[in-house]
Chain A
Amino acid sequence: MEFAELIKTPRADNVVLHRPFYPAVEGTLCLTGHHLILSSRRQDNSEELWLLHSNIDSIEKRFVGSLGTIIIKCKDLRIIQLDIPGMEECLNIASSIEEQHCMGNTHRKQALSTLDSVTLMYPFFYRPMFEVVEDGWHSFLPEREFELLSSVTNEWRLSYVNKEFSVCPSYPPAVTVPKSIDDEALRRVATFRHGGRFPVLSYYHKKNGMVMMRSSQPLTGTNGRRCKEDSALINATLRAGKRGYIIDTRSLNVAQQARAKGGGFEQEVQYPQWRRIHKSVERYNILQESLIKLVEACNDQSHNMDRWLSKLEASNWLTHIKEILTAACLAAQCIDREGASVLVHGTEGTDSTLQITSLAQIILDPRCRTIRGFEALIEREWLQAGHPFQQRCAQSAYSNSKQKWESPVFFLFLDCVWQTLRQFPCSFEFNGHFLIMLFENAYASQFGTFLGNNESERCKLKLPQKTMSLWSWVNQPYELSKFKNPLFEANSLVIWPSVAPQSLQLWEGVFLRWNRSSKFLDEACEEMNNIIEYNKELQAKVNALRRQLAELETDDGMQESS
């Protein structure tokens, strides 16, 4: 294995680890192929820090005399400092980490096609220490999801037109489309949509039979190219005499400009039954810059309140949250309140489109607020829908290297879910930790779930055979217990979050996680659990006693009658 060559100094003694709110720890630092490990030798306080190289976003070196200091900034936003005695050792370790760190990211530096470097990443080496009861790679198959749909409607079919990923490279092999549209028509529609992403079913609203579809932009170009199969496809989802809404996640201006590059939008004349709404949601590097600014504001050590608020404002992070949530509420409103079907798309249909369609489902569908349902949603609307995780999550807020495709699209989605959870604290089966865990794993993980950019790549990498699924680990009862919201009371209602600025808050669990002590908040969570656990315990006892009494009383009655 070529890892060994990259590790110049595999081990250093008397290294001191500094983290905010914890006492400094002295110990031995070890570098392995995928981890940085610091273990303290003190018996009373044996502590180990394991850090995945792929979690490292940037490294800084400083020297004071012969004492070297390495500051490691992680993708999960944590910052740690290692004091390493000996200049040479320090330099060696720093460069080894950098090499390791770069190697994990080579897919970015080299061409995406060189999948080889991905296979050097930790998920391909990770061996689980737990027994796999349920293989997460098979937990959320499209066939299973389709079965659920078939129980309520027969207007849809599962098409394997993309079996070889030849019609649309970023779609999964199986997609749900209107029954009346055959595969041949789908192939033609694919040529009319950006990246071949023809309209597919995203969500079926059982309450009124309305649907949400998603796609990419139509390739109308400047000369107004049209495709009759395209309109036939989306019209097939309309009830007689009903109109639908197309939610375009770009401003009208941007959509018009897209025509010059061969893209475009649905013109009224060709889609008379559809009403188009432009709801602009920011994308790509604007979002990445927003993240960088926000994290910088959170790490600002100054005592100046005005500075904090103005930096928070300038980051625009909460503005993006408001935009995305508003667009999702709009889509949900069209479906639930207006009783209309909806098609959502932006340009590629792999980013803002997915934010909108998945959040709308959380608002509309109680199932998506359960743990299993939310996992299924991520599988359906993000992984299989072809959100390019590997590109988007290659760097986080600290990286100095030039950005390319990085963007916290999924991160923003998780933040929006957290905002909704905060407003409806009893309506979600999972808690904030669950969302944080997903954030961490999307950026650096021992599991293969978020590797690759789409199903086609995952297939080529043979991820299901060669790596462990995140869901296999999460869905074990012990792990799940940490992610359960004790306040959860299933309700079948549509939940409408407020998008007023006064209602949106900084996601402290992620952004302030390493900057403030969470001791007292953790205690509060624990107390909440205790209150509810004790209640359940009593309920069980009372029920058992009732049963016992009932039995005894019948016995009694029988004796009496005998």
Chain B
Amino acid sequence: MEHIRMPKVENVRLIDRISSRKAALGTLYLTATHVIFVENVSETRKETWILHSQISSIEKQATTVTGCPLLIRCKNFQIIQLIIPQERDCHDVYISLIRLARPVKYEELYCFSFNPKLDKEEREQGWKLVSLNEEYNRMGVPNNYWQISDVNRDYQVCDSYPTEVYVPESATAHIIVGSSKFRSRRRFPALSYYCKDNNASICRSSQPLSGFSARCLEDEQMLQAIRKANPGSNFIYVVDTRPKLNAMANRAAGKGYENEDNYSNIKFQFIGIENIHVMRSSLQKMLEVCELKSPSMSDFLWGLENSGWLKHIKAIMDAGIFIAKAVAEEGVSVLVHCSDGWDRTAQVCSVASLLLDPFYRTIKGFMVLIEKDWVSFGHKFNHRYGYLDGDPKEISPVIDQFIECIWQLMEQFPCAFEFNERFLIHIQHHIYSCQFGNFLCNSQKERRELKIRERTYSLWAHLWKNRADYMNPLYREDHSQTQGTLRPQTAPCNFLYKFWSGMYTRFEKGMHPRQSVTDYLMAVKEETQQLEEELEVLEQRLADLKKVQLNNRKENSKQQDHNTHLGLSTSNNSIANTPQDYINNVKSFPSRSPSQGDEEDSALILTQDNLKSSDPDLSANSDQESGVEDLSCRSPSGGCCLPSEDSGKDSDEAVFLTV
């Protein structure tokens, strides 16, 4: 609190990004965890909440006659533009936010104050939802080929690895330790995915410290052990996910890559995925394109190409496809590494696992996958996503790229995933929100020291509780797409990669399809379920009624019949008594109601977020704790202001003026 110089500023204007003519007048509040803007309009009091941890940059722009503009860019790609009347106030807000957005200790983060009002037991249950132990058992290990090693019990061998690591049966502690000494940051080869159908596996590590000529017997034995764990194949692939040039440059620093001559039976392969710095600047460039005011088609496409973003996404996907193919089709095990083995390696191993195993395409399985390849293997969440004030050069959208790869796959395989786009967007949001403790710190070791499980809540439990919102209505367990390995089209396929508007311009509602097929189908499915229930009740009633009539004819007591009849109907009163309404409901889907009866042009039925709002923080920039739901998305005004904007942008402003 001591960092807040200015807890409240009045007469602030929030600028509408699409149409700068529109601005909302309101009051700006700074709290310990959020920036809150409350509109003055008394009926709605629309609120915009921004978590400090979401703020990626704050820009104070030159003062104009109308006031002092402040631009806040968020990690979830929201952009907020405020105009504060007094320069001094603006400066105070700016200084406060600079500090608030860059906490210096973990305890300042939101997850330590966030309280979803669950008791201790519920919290613990939440943390148990995703269990890696169970996951490795599901994969089929330990078994004859793979054992669980306790060599890293107290993080003695590798402090960025988990305590429980799966290694080949023939890899002794001596081999593991020896190998770890020959690998960057001692990240020795360990099991990421095991395919029980053919014993092929995906292992991961960091680069070897080979320099120009160094060798390590134990490391060579380690790779040999991995090969032996797959009796069906006489070699393994070693995939270095870096561009060859980068890997070669590393040799000068005593690092590098495996020499095929030193290792028996390996096939070495480079897959050029660029490093975190290239990716950071690529995203930066793409976001600059998204920020352009009314760009032309050429501006946009040229900017997209120039950013290289889709090229990088495709490189990651190609690596995943290569590995999945080696495992599924050739039955060959693969060892994957990059430099430290915690960025590109995590991306590629998780994409490959998801292509191979339908389980990872379910809601639960996707959580497990992130837990396995990202959280447990020491992906440096804190550094990459800038939770604490640190080196800006460490920041890079590594997991964002992984999440986008999954979206690209969902576009190609619409029935193969149990979850929908919203699930991915919400996960991305929470990776940056620091509302839950899952991703804090840089390794399992740090998280244990911080006692995350006792002091914060798990995101997975939260998402699981609301899983109804994240379902893909087209998913069917028995569907052919759902089974087995996903085989994306490879050549030619550039055109299959698309700009993900739902993520990068997700707050520019006007740009998205105004009707969501997913939400529509979910509403239909929900109704179908109600119909099924009603059908059962009706059939039962019909049967009873027939029985009653039969009894009537037998001149049984009327009173008694009546009772049975009543008894049945009361238990299902709610359904049985409302046929009329129900039919109406059928005519106009529940999801339609927000827009109907309002201004005609709010044809914006079923926009992405106006329907499902289990997570108000996400859908409406509001906060669960506050208990205040933001009306922006649900109110028709949120949608109806759009029509005139898109076409109006070009018409009202641009064209009419030229006349």
Q: Which of A's residues lie within 8 Å of B, judged by CB? A: 207, 275-279, 298, 300-310, 312-313, 316, 318-319, 321-322, 326, 329-330, 332-333, 336-337, 422-427, 487, 489, 491-506, 508, 512, 515-517, 520-521, 523-524, 527-528, 531-532, 534-535, 538-539, 541-543, 545-546, 548-549, 552-553, 555-556, 559-560
Contact A527 B415 (CB under 8 A): yes
Are A524 and B515 in contact, CB atoms less than 8 angstroms apart?
no
Contact A303–B600 (Cβ < 8 Å): no
- The answer to whether B232 has its CB under 8 Å from any CB of chain A is no
> Bound state CA distance, A512 and B474, in angstroms?
23
Q: Which residue of A has the minimal Cβ distance to B549?
A: A556
Find B479's partner among A278, A302, A503, A523 (CB 8 Å cutoff).
Answer: A523
Contact between B650 and A501 (Cβ–Cβ < 8 Å)?
A: no
9 tightest Cβ-Cβ pairs between the two chains A and B: A329-B647, A496-B643, A501-B300, A493-B603, A309-B305, A524-B414, A308-B494, A313-B301, A305-B311
**Contact residues in A for B538 (Cβ distance below 8 Å):** 542, 545-546, 549
Q: With the chains together, A250 CA to B152 CA distance in Å?
A: 73
CB-based contact B305/A424 at 8 Å: no
Q: A301-B491, A303-B494 are in contact. Are A318 and B517 (CB under 8 A)?
A: no
Of listed B481, B586, B650, residue having the most chain A CB within 10 A: B650
Check B363 for interface membership: any CB of A closer than 8 A: no
A residues near B531, Cβ cutoff 8 Å: 535, 538-539, 541-542
Shortest distance between the CB of A160 and any CB in chain B (Å): 37
Query: B545–A521 contact, CB under 8 A?
Result: no
Q: Are B511 and A424 in contact (CB under 8 A)?
A: no
**Contact, CB under 8 Å: B651 / A329:** yes
Query: B150 at the A/B interface (Cβ < 8 Å)?
Result: no
Give CA–CA (A146, B558) in the complex, Å. 64
A498-B515 in contact (CB<8A): no
CB <8 Å contact, A427 and B515: yes
Which of A494, A502, A556 meets B603, CB within 8 Å?
A494
CB of B298 within 8 A of CB of A520, answer no
CA distance A330 to B495 in the complex (A): 31
A558 to chain B, nearest CB (A): 11
Tell me whether A493 and B651 are in contact (CB under 8 A). no
Does B510 sit at the interface, judged by CB under 8 A?
yes
B535 touches A545 (CB 8 A): yes
Beyond A487-B521, A492-B600, 7 additional pairs, beta carbon < 8 A:
A302-B492, A306-B305, A426-B515, A494-B601, A498-B511, A516-B493, A535-B527
Provide the residues of chain B in CB contact with A534, threshold 8 Å. 528
What would be 24 A-B contacts, judged by CB atoms less than 8 Å apart?
A276-B659, A300-B494, A302-B494, A307-B494, A310-B302, A329-B650, A333-B647, A336-B601, A423-B515, A491-B603, A494-B601, A494-B643, A496-B601, A497-B646, A498-B646, A502-B499, A502-B505, A503-B646, A505-B498, A515-B492, A520-B412, A531-B524, A552-B545, A552-B546
Asked if B489 contacts A523 (CB within 8 A), the reply is no
CB of B592 to closest CB in A, whole Å:
7
- From residue A125, how far is it (CB to closest CB) to chain B in Å? 38
Known: A275-B659, A427-B603. A528 touches B474 (CB 8 A): yes
- The reply to whether A501 and B520 form a contact with Cβ atoms under 8 Å apart is no
In the docked arrangement, what's the CA distance between A298 and B480, Å?
28
Report B's interface with A, CB cutoff 8 A.
290, 294-302, 304-305, 308, 310-311, 314, 412-416, 473-474, 476, 479-481, 489, 491-499, 501, 505, 508, 510-515, 517, 520-521, 524-525, 527-528, 531-532, 534-535, 538-539, 541-542, 545-546, 548-549, 552, 558, 579, 583, 586, 589, 592, 600-603, 605-606, 642-644, 646-648, 650-652, 655-656, 658-659
With both chains docked as a complex, state the minimum distance between the C-beta of A466 and any C-beta of chain B, in angstroms. Answer: 42
Q: Is chain B's interface secondary structure helix, strand, loop, or mixed overall?
A: helix
Q: Do A319 and B297 touch across chains, with their CB atoms under 8 A apart?
A: yes
Of the residues A275, A336, A425, A499, contact of B515 by C-beta under 8 Å: A425
Min distance, Cβ B374 to any Cβ of chain A, angstroms: 25
User: A503 near B642 (CB under 8 angstroms)?
Assistant: no
A-chain residues with CB within 8 Å of residue B414 when the two chains form the complex? 520-521, 523-524
* Cβ B310 vs Cβ A502 within 8 A: no
Q: Are A491 and B644 neighbours in the complex by a CB distance under 8 Å?
A: no
Contact of A527 with B646 at beta-carbon distance under 8 Å, contacts A498-B511, A535-B528 already known: no
Residues of chain A contacted by B517 (CB below 8 angstroms): 425-426, 487, 528
Give the residue name and chain of the B residue nearest to A279 (CB): B655
Asked if A424 contacts B513 (CB within 8 A), the reply is yes
Give the shortest distance, in Å, between A545 (CB) and chain B (any CB).
Answer: 4
- Residue in chain B with minimal CB distance to A524: B414
A559 and B552 within 8 A (CB)? yes
Chain A nearest Cβ from B545, distance in angstroms: 5
Bound Cα distance from A363 to B385, whole angstroms: 43
| A541 lies within 8 A of B298 (CB) | no
Look across to chain A and name the residue whose beta carbon is closest to the beta carbon of B480: A523
CB pair B511 A500 closer than 8 Å: yes
Given A300-B492, A531-B473, A531-B524: A277 in contact with B659 (beta carbons within 8 A): yes
Known: A306-B308, A491-B605, A542-B531. A313 touches B302 (CB 8 A): yes
- In whole angstroms, how far apart are the Cα atoms of A414 and B602 in the complex? 25
Residues of B near A541 (CB, < 8 A) are 531, 535
Verify A503–B511 contact, CB threshold 8 A.
yes
The CA of A532 and the CA of B473, in the complex, are separated in Å by 11
Instruction: Give CA–CA (A313, B296) in the complex, Å.
Output: 11
